[in-house]
C-alpha cells in the first residue's frame, strides 16, 4: 500500500468519524444497576439528576423564545427567514466528486463509441459506393457461391445487385 492509498484511507476514516459524531447518543446516565446507558431520548423520570452524566446542550435562549413569544407581531408580508444552508461534509463532497467522475467517464465512453460507430458507417458507405461504381461501370463481377465455385454475374444478376446496393446506400448512408 503506497502513501497515496494510506492518505486516502485516513481521509475516509476522518470523514466517517466526523459524519458519525452528530449521530452519537446525546444522553448518558447510570441506571439503577450502575450500568451506563446511552440514548438520543432523555432518561425516564425515575433516574435522579445526579446519575445523568451527559445531556444535550439547550438551544440558544434569545432567538427561539423571542420568535415563539411574538408570532402575531410579525408583519404578514415579511419574508420568511432563509433556511440555514448545510455545508456538505468531506464524505459528501467526495461522493459527489466520484459521481461526477463516473458521469464524465460514461459520457466520454459514449462519445468514443459514437465516434467509432460513425467511422465504421462511413467506411461501409464508401465500400457500398465503390461496389455500385463497379456494377455500373460494366466491369466483370464474379462471386463465390455456397459450393465454393466462382460464378460471374449476368445482366439480370447485375441489375438485381445494383438495385440492392442502391437501397442499402439510401438506408445506411446520409
Asked whether the beta carbons of 40 and 25 are under 8 A apart, the reply is: yes
Query: What residues contact 42, with CB distance under 8 A and at least 6 apart?
Result: 27, 55
Give average pLDDT by consecutive 10-residue segment, the chain, 174 residues.
Answer: 73 65 71 89 88 78 50 56 75 92 96 95 94 88 90 90 94 86
SS3 117: helix
pLDDT value of residue 5: 75
Cα separation, 40 vs 104, whole angstroms: 41
SS3 153: coil
Question: Residue 73 to residues 19, 64, 77, 82: CA-CA distances in angstroms?
Answer: 39, 15, 12, 19
Domain layout of the chain by residue ranges: 14-55, 112-174
pLDDT value of residue 66: 46
The CB-side HSE value for 156 (13 A sphere, CA atoms) comes to 0
Q: How many CB atoms lie within 10 A of CB 117?
A: 10
Whether the model pTM is above 0.75: no
pLDDT value of residue 24: 56
Amino acid at each position: 500500500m503506497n502513501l497515496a492509498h494510506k492518505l486516502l484511507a485516513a481521509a475516509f476514516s476522518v470523514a466517517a468519524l466526523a459524519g458519525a459524531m452528530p449521530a452519537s447518543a446525546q444522553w448518558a446516565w447510570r441506571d439503577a444497576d450502575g450500568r451506563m446507558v446511552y440514548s438520543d431520548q432523555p432518561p425516564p423520570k425515575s433516574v435522579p439528576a445526579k446519575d445523568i452524566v451527559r445531556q444535550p446542550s439547550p438551544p440558544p435562549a434569545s432567538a427561539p423564545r423571542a420568535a415563539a413569544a411574538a408570532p402575531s407581531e410579525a408583519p404578514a408580508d415579511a419574508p420568511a427567514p432563509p433556511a440555514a444552508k448545510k455545508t456538505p461534509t468531506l464524505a459528501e463532497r467526495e461522493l459527489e466528486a466520484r459521481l461526477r467522475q463516473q458521469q464524465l467517464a460514461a459520457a466520454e465512453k459514449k462519445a468514443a463509441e459514437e465516434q467509432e460507430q460513425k467511422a465504421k458507417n462511413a467506411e461501409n458507405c464508401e465500400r457500398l459506393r465503390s461496389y455500385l461504381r463497379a456494377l455500373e461501370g460494366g466491369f466483370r463481377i464474379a462471386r463465390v457461391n455456397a459450393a465454393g465455385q466462382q460464378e460471374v454475374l449476368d445482366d439480370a444478376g447485375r441489375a438485381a445487385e445494383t438495385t440492392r446496393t442502391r437501397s442499402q446506400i439510401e438506408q445506411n448512408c446520409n
